[in-house]
Structure 1
Amino acid sequence: MRMRALAAALLVAVVAGCGAGEHPVEPAPSTSATVTPSLPTVTPPKPQARAIALSHLPANLRARVPQFAPAPPATTKVQLPTDGTAGWFSRIPTDQKVAFITIDDGWVKHPLALPLFQAADVPVTLFLQTNAIRSDPQYFAKLQAAGATIENHTITHPNLEGRSYAAQKREICGGADQLAGFYGRRPVLFRPPFGNHDRTTLKASHDCGMKAAFFWKETTNKGKVRFQEGPGVKPGDIILMHFRDRFPDDFTAVLQAIHKAGLTPAKLEDYIP
């Protein structure tokens, strides 16, 4: 009898061990887009990786992803305040032919974002709101592995302007701390919700370890880029996107606008001391 019980226990342990080693299947996001493609786990050389990523995109998207040369090394850094506040920028002052793609929030987790990032192979900065990503933080870990940099966009997305120092610090420090727990790196850049801020925002940002906070020069929605200062992306412009239902249209519209201007997407973090 004891031998039978021991054999049964061993069988249960083996079955449990197999189950623990498997990756659970994540439910598909609630979107009408194509289901998440199965991309290779081994990273091939970049030209081959781009071709593979393009092959996983719908045919109508492939031609809308321009190819860029690598961004030039950052030759200058912005000047940050020395008065205990974070810097504030809507454009990076540079003569280099670069622009910066930034994407906010994280509510919509579009299945084509990963192959689009891999096909475009350009730097992207994600300003993530922790309440928005909590349902599937692994989704953004995959984007991080594809080259995106994750920065801070608060916990609950409040309008910070006019709030107390304690309230603003709680949102900014808390967002940075949670993102560090999710992704192994504590953010050093910040975007206030709606772009609204006051001096208290910049003071709290600095005290939470944020070097700079950002506005933008172009916005994108439903596949259309809107310019604040006349047509065309200018060198150093910061472009705002969101994780929305029409993410492929927005992302390719931004890529095309940068390409049409003769610019290259660059890494925002490289220009911050």
Structure 2
Amino acid sequence: MRYRALTAALLLAGLTACGDQAAPTPVTSSAPVRSAAPTVESAPATADPRAALPPALQARMPRFAPPPAATKVTLPGNGTAGWFSRIPTDQKVAFITIDDGWEKNPLAAQLFRAADVPITLFLEVNAIADNPGYFRTLQQTGATIQNHTISHPVLKGRSYAFQKHEICGGADKLGQLYGTRPTLFRPPGGAHDATTLRAAHDCGMKAAFFWKEATNKGKVFYQGKKVVQPGDIILMHFRPRFVDDFLAVLNAIHKAGLTPARLEDYIP
């Protein structure tokens, strides 16, 4: 597939478990697709992976040009992780990030293959504990796995020792499960303080992330302009309407004239 061949390998209190701002005006995608959808048999390896999806889903999935070569951000040199809600770039790219891991939709891997775009998963250890192999399958589609703590506590205001335990413990466990220890981090709810960024750095996290758009129930919620801007980081979760959320994100990026890029490529 195109991207893997090239690479070889707030917001919302009521909306998200990660977010604490009032909900902006939503933009709604088309009819819902529930997580109870049956697994679709895989198409032959030589076929367009979209052919493995029901026609109704194929029609809702846009195609993208390859992302441009990444321009690296500058990280702080003061013993703290970088902090970004968007990547400071004029390149026509946006970044798809998905948090937690509680809902394990059977169509996710096929959607990822069919979309053939870079995706970053910020996984909570407790949320994936019942089926870590599910996310190994997503990793095999080209998705990358990063850190979202052990148990999803609000970190802001907690002691350095508490925050370091959650961040380092999450990274260590994910490294054991998926072969590569994470170097990027999202604090639960985006809530953080100076201690969070210092503990993240000391746990080997180069950068930590907030977001500019979020999705739930097939709707995209924007900050400011109702269009995805170059460099924006978009937040999803593994939730019952995962299929609708994912397609809504793809179409919002496509409508903005952007292409999904790999978040990790922009971090030195």
Query: Matches of 1:69 and 1:188 in 2, distance apart?
Result: 27
Name the residue aligned to 1:188.
Answer: 183
1:1-273 correspondence to structure 2 within 5 Å? 33-39=36-42, 43-44=45-46, 48=47, 51=48, 53-74=49-70, 76-273=71-268
Residue by residue over 1:24-78, the C-alpha shift from the partner in whole angstroms, topping out at 9 and shown as x without a partner, is xxxxxxx7522223326x843xxx3xx2x3232233211111011111111x211
CA distance in structure 2 between the aligned counterparts of 1:246 and 1:98, rounded to whole angstroms? 25
Within 2, Cα distance between the matches of 1:33 and 1:236? 33
User: Which residue type is aligned with residue 108 of structure 2?
Assistant: A
User: 1:229 offset after TM fit, Å?
Assistant: 1.8
Unmatched runs of 5 consecutive residues or more in structure 1: 1-30
What is the one-letter code of the residue matched to 2:64?
F
Does the 8 Å CA contact 2:37/2:107 hold for their aligned counterparts? yes
Instruction: Report the Cα offset of residue 186 of structure 1.
Output: 0.2
Contact 1:105-1:243 within 8 A present in 2 as well = yes
* Distance (whole Å) between structure 2 residues aligned to residue 238 and residue 86 of structure 1: 17
Secondary structure of 1:180's counterpart equals: helix
Q: Is the 8 A contact 1:65 1:256 kept in 2?
A: yes
Q: Higher relative CO (CA 8 A, sep ≥ 6), structure 1 or 2?
A: 2
AA aligned to 1:146 is: T
Instruction: Decide whether the 8 Å contact of 1:125 with 1:150 is kept in 2.
Output: yes
Tell me, in whole angstroms, the C-alpha distance in 1 between the residues paired with 2:52 and 2:103: 20
TM normalised by structure 2 equals: 0.85
- Quick one: which amino acid aligns to residue 149 of structure 1? T
Residue type of the partner of 1:256? N
Q: What is the rounded CA distance, in whole Å, between the counterparts of 1:60 and 1:140 in structure 2?
A: 25
Structure of higher CA gyration radius: 1
CA distance in 1, matches of 2:89, 2:245: 25
Contact 2:163 2:199 in 1 (8 A): yes
Q: CA RMSD in A?
A: 1.2
| Count of equivalent residues | 235
Stretch moving more, 220-229 or 56-65: 56-65
> What are structure 2's unaligned runs of at least 5 residues?
1-33
Which amino acid in the other structure matches residue 230 of structure 1?
A: K
Tell me the amino acid that sits aligned with residue 53 of structure 2. L
Change (3 A) 1:32 1:269: closer
Residue deviations 1:84-133, cap 9 Å, x none?
Answer: 00000000000110000000000000011111001100000000001000
- Deviation by residue 1:239-272 (Cα, 9 ceiling, x = unmatched): 0000000001000000000000000000000000
Say if 2:35 and 2:105, in contact at 8 Å, map to a contact too: no
Cα offset, 1:142, TM superposition: 0.7
Q: TM-score, normalised by structure 1?
A: 0.84
Amino acid of the residue matched to residue 73 of structure 2?
V
Q: Is contact 1:217–1:229 with CA below 8 Å preserved after alignment?
A: no
- 1: distance between equivalents of 2:230 and 2:83? 17
